[in-house]
Amino acid sequence: MTPLKITPLHPALGAEVAGVDLAAPIDAPTREALSHALADHLALVFREQSLTPAQYLAAASVFGPPMEQHYSQHNMPDFPLIGLIWHRNGQQPAEQWHTDHTNRERPPAATILYGVEIPSAGGGTSVASMRAAYVALAEDERRRLDGLTTFNSLESGRTDTRETDQEKYGKPIQHPMVRTHPVHGSRAVYFHITKATHIDGMTPEASRVYMNDLLDRMIRPEIVYRHVWRKGDVLVIDNRATMHRAHGDYDRRESRVLWRIIVEGDRPRLV
């Protein structure tokens, strides 16, 4: 087994992993160790990687089977399981706190980002521990959230969604607002404010107000790791117990290109 060196990056979450070349095959014990490291630290950073699309897909599969991404217009033509995050093809940075693809029955266990072109300043990615957020809520609110579920779909306000994506991924999917991590066993708050059409039993308006209020109260610096990108970084985000957001605070004359892979996880459940 490759000796892993794991160094925490923030008191609440995030760790740098040294000793792994993601371009090379990864043996079974190392895969197991990385899966547990992700469940423990919720965001893993691998520095100075140099990957072809095929190598990147092979490395990502350590965390689960790569799955199709909606908004397929942004996928790499020859490698459609890799999405391109790039403002020059018309995308806006996802600056709202969220977890990915909650409109899927089995949403991604992890989102993996590879820094291919990095602006000279800004353009970071922040990750918040929803495990810590859950623990910090008052007991009565935890009990309330434990009983709530959301219905999720593709965002209706977008004009660039392909019809095929809308048909495949636009059906309502119900998820608990608190989920148990399948590896770690702990609970975390789980919702996507713009993919959730509503909370079961609440109007869309009241649902949005409550989710916004929750985000305002939950997201504090103590539970946020802000990743400052270097070219060659691979950032693995555990979607089962975090939310993340992009920072659009960079010069648009510079290029910022991240390759994104999402890997399939379990159906969220509260046990």
- Say which amino acid occupies 134: Y
Considering only the stretches 37-45, 99-107, 129-137, 226-234, report the one whose residues sit in contact with Fe ion under the rule CB under 5 A.
99-107
* Nearest by Cα to 87 from 226, 237, 262, 258: 258
- At its nearest, how many Å lie between Fe ion and the CB of residue 1? 31
* Alpha carbons 195 and 203: distance in angstroms, whole number: 15
SS3 140: helix
Chain position carrying tokens 């190598």: 55
Shortest Cβ 2–Fe ion spacing (Å): 29
Could you say whether residue 238 binds Fe ion (CB under 5 A)? Answer: no
Closest separation in Å from C-beta 224 to Fe ion? 15
- Between 26 and 115, CB nearer to Fe ion: 115
- Going by DSSP bridges, is the β-strand pair 125-129/149-152 parallel, antiparallel, or unpaired? unpaired
CB of 122 to Fe ion, least distance (A): 18
Q: Where are the beta strands (DSSP E) in the chain?
A: 5-8, 15-18, 43-46, 66-67, 83-86, 108-117, 125-129, 149-152, 173-176, 178-180, 187-189, 196-199, 224-227, 234-238, 242-246, 257-264
We find the least distance from the C-beta atom of residue 151 to Fe ion, in angstroms, to be 20
Minimum distance of Fe ion from residue 127's CB (angstroms): 10
Q: Does residue 100 belong to the site contacting Fe ion (CB under 5 A)? A: yes
**Looking at beta carbons only, is 20 or 83 nearer to Fe ion?**
83
Q: Which range touches Fe ion (CB under 5 A), out of 29-37, 92-100, 180-188, 200-208?
A: 92-100
The residues, ordered by sequence, that sit 6+ positions from 73 with a Cβ below 8 Å of its Cβ are: 160, 162
* Cβ(114)–Cβ(257) below 8 Å: no
Size of the site for Fe ion (CB under 5 A): 1
Minimal CB distance to Fe ion: which residue? 100
Interacting stretch for Fe ion, rule CB under 5 A, among 47-55, 96-104, 164-172, 201-209? 96-104
Q: How many CB atoms lie within 10 A of CB 107?
A: 27
Which region, judged by CB under 5 A, interacts with Fe ion, from 56-64, 93-101, 117-125, 213-221? Answer: 93-101
Stretch that binds Fe ion, among 97-105, 148-156, 157-165, 219-227 (CB under 5 A): 97-105
Question: Please, which residue, 59 or 112, has the CB nearer to Fe ion?
Answer: 112
Query: Residue 95's beta-bridge partner residues?
Result: none
Q: Which residue's CB is nearer to Fe ion, number 95 or number 117?
A: 95
Amino acid identity, residue 98?
H
Q: Which residues bind Fe ion (CB under 5 A)?
A: 100
